């Protein structure tokens, strides 16, 4: 268990899956948590209840589109005003619209980059000032094993997640002098709502490529995120932490 007492964390895409697990894990460490979500009100309310039950001193939902720069800036201002600061940002929200390159629509390419990459940029830029004021902070970006190794049918998704790795390393260099760390986690095949929809044949093929011979869990990813966000990783920045069961080394 990592100690986040007195810390305020903003987690994007926190209504379900990996994002919810991260928000709950931060709450278990004593953090107050601001939960971003895009539109699923019922799932967001369930996540909020889970975070409060996990021990968060304070938690609140924030519905906004992370691809909207102005909305991100406004949300960060509201979090800082209501919670008294912002110490941890987890850029988790993302979408995947799978399609072969020659059939990929312009709008589907753009939407994935807007959410997965530009969304992280928008929020990272927005939190820089309050983290500087607090004389420190931690940013953790959720990339993907696909961003490291590529995957047929996921050209846009892979490009956006690879871009997150470049963003992470550049931000780490730029903000290190202000005691703001930036790291990334690259999950592999994780058991979530998104992966459960895959055909059984596809799941079997994927399992064969994982040396640990099991799916990862959202908690596996949350544990890695919490380590990077915590003081235990005080000398870690610009790192890309693989959580993929050995699928890609």
Condensed to tens digits (0 to 9), the pLDDT of residues 205-215 reads 888 999 999 99
pLDDT of residue 180 exceeding 90? yes
Query: b/e map of 90-114 (b: 16 or more CB within 10 Å)?
Result: bbbbbbbeebeeeebeeebbebbbb
Residue 55, pLDDT score: 98
CA-CA-CA-CA torsion sign (71, 107, 147, 99): positive
Q: Which residue has the tokens 């003081």?
A: 231
Among 37, 62, 157, 248, which one carries the catalytic annotation? 157
The CATH superfamily of 8-243 is NAD(P)-binding Rossmann-like Domain (3.40.50.720)
Name residues whose C-beta falls within 8 Å of residue 92's C-beta, 6 or more positions apart in sequence: 11, 12, 13, 14, 18, 19, 22, 142
pLDDT of residue 194 exceeding 70? no
Mean of pLDDT over the chain: 96
* pLDDT band for position 138 (cuts 50, 70, 90): very high
Least confident of 69-73, 96-100, 196-200: 196-200
Least confident of 52-66, 122-136, 201-215: 201-215
Residue 25, pLDDT score: 98
Q: Is 157 a catalytic residue?
A: yes
CA-CA-CA-CA torsion sign (152, 162, 106, 190): positive
Mean pLDDT for the stretch of residues 164-182: 98
Q: Which residue has the tokens 């019922």?
A: 42
Residue 198, pLDDT score: 73
H-only helix segments in 134-208? 145-149, 155-175, 193-196, 200-208
Mean pLDDT for the stretch of residues 63-89: 98
The C-alpha atoms of residue 187 and residue 224 are separated, in whole angstroms, by 10
* pLDDT band for position 141 (cuts 50, 70, 90): very high
Residue 206, pLDDT score: 82
Q: Are 185 and 224 in contact (CB under 8 A)?
A: yes
Bridge-partner residues for 33, per DSSP? 9, 59
Closest among 132, 185, 141, 136 to 11, alpha carbons compared:
141
Percent of the residues in the chain that have a pLDDT greater than 90, as a whole number: 92
The C-alpha atoms of residue 208 and residue 213 are separated, in whole angstroms, by 7
Q: Are 71 and 98 in contact (CB under 8 A)?
A: no
The C-alpha atoms of residue 244 and residue 185 are separated, in whole angstroms, by 10
Query: pTM of the full predicted structure?
Result: 0.97
Long-range contacts of 97-104 (CB under 8 A, 24+ apart): 97/156, 97/157, 98/153, 98/154, 98/157, 99/153, 99/155, 99/156, 100/152, 100/153, 101/155, 104/155, 104/156
pLDDT of residue 45 exceeding 90? yes
Residue 13, pLDDT score: 98
- Longest CA–CA span in the chain (Å) reads 51
End-to-end Cα distance, the chain = 27
Residue 196, pLDDT score: 74
């Amino acid at each position: 268990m990592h100690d986040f007492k007195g810390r305020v964390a903003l987690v994007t895409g926190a209504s379900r899956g990996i994002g919810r697990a991260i928000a709950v894990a931060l709450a278990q460490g004593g953090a107050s948590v601001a939960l971003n979500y895009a539109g699923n009100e019922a799932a967001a309310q369930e996540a909020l209840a889970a975070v409060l039950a996990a021990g968060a001193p304070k938690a609140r939902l924030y519905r906004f589109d992370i691809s909207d720069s102005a909305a991100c800036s406004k949300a960060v201002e509201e979090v800082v005003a209501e919670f008294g600061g912002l110490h941890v940002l987890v850029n988790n929200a993302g979408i995947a619209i799978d399609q072969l390159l020659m059939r990929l629509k312009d709008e589907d390419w753009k939407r994935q980059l807007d959410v997965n990459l530009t969304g992280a940029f928008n929020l990272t830029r927005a939190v820089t000032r309050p983290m500087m004021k607090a004389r420190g902070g931690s940013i953790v970006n959720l990339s993907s094993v696909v961003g490291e190794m590529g995957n047929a049918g996921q050209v846009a998704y892979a490009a956006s997640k690879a871009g997150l790795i470049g963003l992470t390393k550049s931000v780490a260099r730029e903000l290190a002098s202000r005691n703001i760390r930036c790291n990334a986690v690259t999950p592999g095949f994780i058991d979530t709502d998104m992966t459960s929809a895959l055909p059984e044949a596809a799941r079997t093929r994927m399992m064969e490529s994982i040396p640990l011979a099991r799916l990862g869990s959202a908690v596996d990813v949350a544990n890695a995120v919490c380590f990077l966000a915590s003081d235990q990783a005080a000398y870690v920045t610009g790192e890309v932490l693989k959580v993929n069961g050995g699928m890609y080394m």
